[in-house]
Structure 1
């Protein structure tokens, strides 16, 4: 069961990224998102989370796929979303929040092969999403906190 949401908010060639203050992924850059609340759809959850974490009121998000993971700490997953920054919204960064530091990061920086500052699975799925390859499921297996394998398949509706 997918319990979480994650959204990449795009502004031209940059994405709004969050350097997390807390685990999981403390100290790493990631999109914004969080846990889906009871009686909330994934879309409602990401719209709420984006507002809570950034102050941006998104009117439209695109479901870009799903990510699941298996680890010695348990299994879970999240719905991935992509959104463009609404024309009437602006956010000046860097910005310190309760969740971490928000900052616009160039897509080339995020996806640079030597960049160890982003969550390790982002370079696997983000290029496909940005290229318009939606509705895929990305499955990751971790052992002792290290990714040991992954797979990609069409999302079954």
Structure 2
């Protein structure tokens, strides 16, 4: 059985900070993570990313355009993670019920597993986003 998830990296409108959630429960309770969630059966990936983004932050298609950047496939235990990135097109007050939301300065060590979830995956994802920033943010 395949399980599919997405993570969504959102820049502020100035591309200086990244929106992250501080997890209130396990796994990774107390650590920063990107927003995202489970892709439902027969749901298209981009639609799922917009749905999760709005559910977790209040950000809709009106405030950002998401780009599908990359995927991770874990063959054991059969998990796929789709990674999307976007930038707010205006200032927007985010709100979340599941986790605390914070704008994090991009000049961080996102590989620090004492602060960031995912055994270094957050760092890997954000490195690729920063490398692709000029193309993604046109």
Q: Which residue of 102, 114, 117 maps to 2:115?
A: 117
For 1:69, the equivalent position in structure 2 comes to: 74
Q: How many residues align?
A: 126
Instruction: Give the direction of change, closer, same or farther, for the CA distance of 1:21–1:132 in structure 2 (3 Å limit).
Output: same
Q: Taking structure 2 as the reference length, what is the TM-score of the superposition?
A: 0.79
1:74-97 deviation line (CA, Å, top 9, x unaligned): 33121000000122x5126xx5x3
For residues 6 and 130 of structure 2, the distance between their equivalents in structure 1, rounded to whole angstroms, comes to: 17
> Shift of residue 40 of structure 1?
1.2
Measured on the aligned residues, the alpha-carbon RMSD in Å equals 2.2
Instruction: Give the direction of change, closer, same or farther, for the CA distance of 1:52–1:30 in structure 2 (3 Å limit).
Output: same
For residues 78 and 114 of structure 1, the distance between their equivalents in structure 2, rounded to whole angstroms, comes to: 21
More strand by share: 1
Q: Which runs of 5 or more structure 1 residues have no equivalent in the other structure?
A: 134-157
Note the 1:10-25 alignment, pairs <5 A: 10-11=11-12, 12-25=15-28
1:99 aligns with 2:102: no
Q: Which runs of 5 or more structure 2 residues have no equivalent in the other structure?
A: 134-138
